[in-house]
Amino acid sequence: MVRFVTALLALSATALATTTCSSSSQCPEDKPCCSQYGECGTGAYCLGGCDIQSSYSIESCAPMPVCESKSYTWENLDNSILNTKYLGNASAADWTYSGYPKIENSSLLMTMPKESVGTLFANNHYIWYGKVSGKIKSSRGKGVVTAFILLSDVKDEIDYEWVGADLTAVQTNYYWQGVLDWHNSANASVSGEDTFDDWHTYEIDWQPDQLQWIIDGTVMRTVKKSDTYNSTSKQYQYPQTPSRLQMSLWPAGQSSNAEGTIAWAGGEIDWDSEDIKDTGYYYATIGQIDVTCYALPDGTTTTGNNSYVYTSSNAMETDIEVTGNSTVLGSLGATGLDMTLGAGSSSASSTSNSTDSVPTNSSGGSGQQGQSTGSTSSDADTSATTTSSSFSQGTTSNSGAANQNERVMRGSFFAVLVAVVALVAL
């Protein structure tokens, strides 16, 4: 499987000239949308994860479906759609996924079969402040990572992350615009039975002025917006843009990953573990998920109730407007610049023959390298802060800060990795 994936990846790397993007090198007009993975394209590239700061223009990405307060249970997958089929209609599908989901005992199992890259679920409704709550049993085993996060298109991020080698704790992180500072990371211990055997309720309470991680009703960590102020840039480095809820299971301890990643994940994955022998896969179990939307921040410009739109590439809280504009693309060839292109054709989701219409990254299959997507520099690692988009392997520094950052970055980018690799593996 891995060989197959790798071959496919190599092919796509050489045969198809992929255009990469970053905030200092935006996409060209014909492939205007910069995906979560730092590559340019149309269609799905312009939906969830489309980064306005690295796209051709801020209009390139499709408007973002507004928050919807809702509870999700798992009798079936009727509410979920494959990432290759979704065109932006969040009313028709609440979740977009890749990988290997299963329904069992009225729960969602995100599985990771032997040698695979796991499963990713992303909610299609953006949340712009709100509370998310998940009844979750993590996966287990060294090298196996489970995650439950909020991630915005400009890489504001709030995480829970379970490393399968330690079933007594969960890691909590937050980031602003992908700026990685290891101070933003903390462990929260989980009492009672371990995180694999026992249901626990993990909540993120994200308000305009503070952020809390709550486990089984107990507040484990609070971050105040006021404490994130950067007096040099005069900005709050606080998550403040519309974000999607993402849940994933991924192989951080895959042997092809960087040593640091594998070490962080507790060692190389054992593909002959008890779970693999018993069921054929590693798995994380997801019970009820609840999303409660909070009121818009004071002073928000509102011209409709259908979508959030960025009005400036600064991408701060005041740069979001709520509009009546549609979020739906006509086809995988369409973009935010021409939303209806290809609409009405008999198979709208397959009208594009282009490989640049659903994000993949050729390096996804090789793991950690995939996380340097869109890499523009790697010289920031001597400070405690650097940007996620500039992460790369083999950094020039051995400082503790850099090592810490490596670990933190891994946390930050797991979703990227899973999405990319899982897509290719399908």
Ligand X SMILES: *[C@@H]1O[C@H](CO)[C@@H](O)[C@H](O)[C@H]1NC(C)=O
Q: Least distance (Å) from ligand X to the CB of residue 348? A: 10
For 149, the token pair is 């996060």
Among the listed ranges 70-78, 126-134, 250-258, 350-358, the one in contact with ligand X (CB under 6 A) is: 350-358
What does the per-residue mask of binding to ligand X show for 254-293, with x meaning CB under 6 A? -------------------------------x--------
Cα-flanking dihedrals φ and ψ of residue 11, to 5°? -60, -50
Answer yes or no: are the C-beta atoms of 33 and 45 closer than 8 Å: yes
Of positions 254, 373, 405, 412, contacts ligand X by CB under 6 A: 373
Residue 318, interface with ligand X (CB under 6 A)? no
Q: Least distance (Å) from ligand X to the CB of residue 10? A: 9
Sorted by sequence, the CB contacts under 8 Å of residue 391 that are 6+ apart come out as: 180, 371, 372, 375, 378, 409, 413
Active site residues: 157, 161
Residue 232, interface with ligand X (CB under 6 A)? yes
Residue 173, interface with ligand X (CB under 6 A)? no
Three-class DSSP category at 146 = strand
Quote the Cα angle for 241-109-44, to 5°.
40
Residue 230, interface with ligand X (CB under 6 A)? yes
Cα-flanking dihedrals φ and ψ of residue 108, to 5°? -90, 125
For 118, the token pair is 């796991």
Residue 18, interface with ligand X (CB under 6 A)? yes
Residue 309, interface with ligand X (CB under 6 A)? yes
* Total count of residues recorded for the chain: 426
Q: Least distance (Å) from ligand X to the CB of residue 208? A: 20
Looking up tokens 């503070």 gives 210
Of positions 218, 233, 346, 347, contacts ligand X by CB under 6 A: 233
Among the listed ranges 72-80, 110-118, 238-246, 360-368, the one in contact with ligand X (CB under 6 A) is: 360-368
Sorted by sequence, the CB contacts under 8 Å of residue 288 that are 6+ apart come out as: 71, 72, 73, 134, 135
Q: Least distance (Å) from ligand X to the CB of residue 352? A: 6
Quote the Cα angle for 22-40-97, to 5°.
105
Of positions 328, 334, 416, 418, contacts ligand X by CB under 6 A: 328
Kindly state the number of chain residues that form the binding site for ligand X, as judged by CB under 6 A.
Answer: 44
CB atoms inside a 10 Å sphere around CB 270: 15
Residue 362, interface with ligand X (CB under 6 A)? yes
Which of 424, 363, 375 shows the shortest CA–CA distance to 10?
363
Q: Least distance (Å) from ligand X to the CB of residue 214? A: 18
CB atoms inside a 10 Å sphere around CB 306: 18
Can you list the positions of beta strands (E) in 294-392?
301-302, 307-310, 320-323, 385-387
- Interatomic CA distance for residues 374 and 291, integer angstroms: 32
Residue 185, interface with ligand X (CB under 6 A)? yes
Question: What b-and-e string marks burial along 150-166, b requiring 16 or more CB atoms within 10 Å of the CB?
Answer: bbbbbbbbbbbbbbbbb
Which of 259, 269, 263, 267 shows the shortest CA–CA distance to 393?
259
Q: Least distance (Å) from ligand X to the CB of residue 299? A: 16
Residue 181, interface with ligand X (CB under 6 A)? yes
Of positions 10, 179, 293, 316, contacts ligand X by CB under 6 A: 179
Q: Least distance (Å) from ligand X to the CB of residue 295? A: 13
H/E stretch holding 89 reads none
Among the listed ranges 177-185, 209-217, 267-275, 287-295, the one in contact with ligand X (CB under 6 A) is: 177-185
Residue 157, interface with ligand X (CB under 6 A)? no
Residues near ligand X, by CB under 6 A = 13, 18, 20, 39, 89, 91-92, 104-105, 109, 166, 171, 179, 181, 185-187, 230, 232-233, 237, 285, 304-305, 309, 321, 323-326, 328, 333, 352-354, 361-363, 369-370, 372-373, 375, 385
